[in-house]
Amino acid sequence: METVLSYSLLVVFIPTFFFVSLTPGMCMTLALSLGMSVGLKRTFFMMAGELIGVGIVAFCSVVGVAAIMLNHPDIFTLFKYAGGLYLGYLGVMMWLSRGKMAMLTCKHENAQTITNKTLILQGFVTAIANPKGWAFFIALLPPFIDQNLPLIPQTMVLLVIILCLEFICLMIYAGGGNTLRKFLHKSDNVKLLNRCAGSLMIGVGIWLSLS
């Protein structure tokens, strides 16, 4: 790896992107909400979509596509509004203990019929349609690129590191939501669980629409 990236650069790069990823944001809040509503295992599908989105955004930031996207914010408008409205709708249904993602108050019933494809799409849309995410990557990632070294190899190494750090942070948030889910479910507080998860989902939807 020494010929691709210097160790001195990695010493700065890894903690920088870890702490930035760990900072509460739309994707982390979504992971927390889904950890509470559908559990940790099924949240992996959302994580897969989110990581694909983050990888695309990060790569485009290096090659300069993000600059074009940021200069034409209308590209995001319909996409982020549609995604925000959909997440908000899911949140309202969860808050009312209705819909595919809500846990029903009757333990013998299971309303979690939301498809894995839908969970993947939620993660992907949240990552791609976030203008702040584009701005963040275009500001922080290019400075770590050494113009004297081959672009593709060092970009691939940085992307792998970014996705690994992002996955660790998603696991932390989703795991926390899953722990809260088990605690509230044991105490028969299913409605409270739905309302907590639904409120977080509504918050992500509003955040995405207004960002």
Q: In which region does residue 99 sit, left (phi positive, over 0), alpha (psi from -120 to 50) or beta (all else)?
A: left
Residue 1 included in any domain: no
65-82 pLDDT, tens digit per residue, is 555 555 666 655 666 677
The residues, ordered by sequence, that sit 6+ positions from 21 with a Cβ below 8 Å of its Cβ are 28, 162, 165, 166, 168, 169
Q: What SS3 state is found at 28?
A: helix
- The pLDDT of residue 141: 78
Residue 28 included in any domain: yes
Residue 94 included in any domain: yes
Greater model confidence, 176 or 63: 176
Residue 2 included in any domain: no
The total number of structural domains that make up the chain: 1
What is the model's pTM? 0.74
- Classify burial at 15, counting beta carbons within 10 Å of its beta carbon; exposed 0-12, middle 13-18, buried 19 or more: exposed
Host domain of residue 63 = 7-210
CA distances from 168 to 62, 71, 174 (A): 23, 32, 10
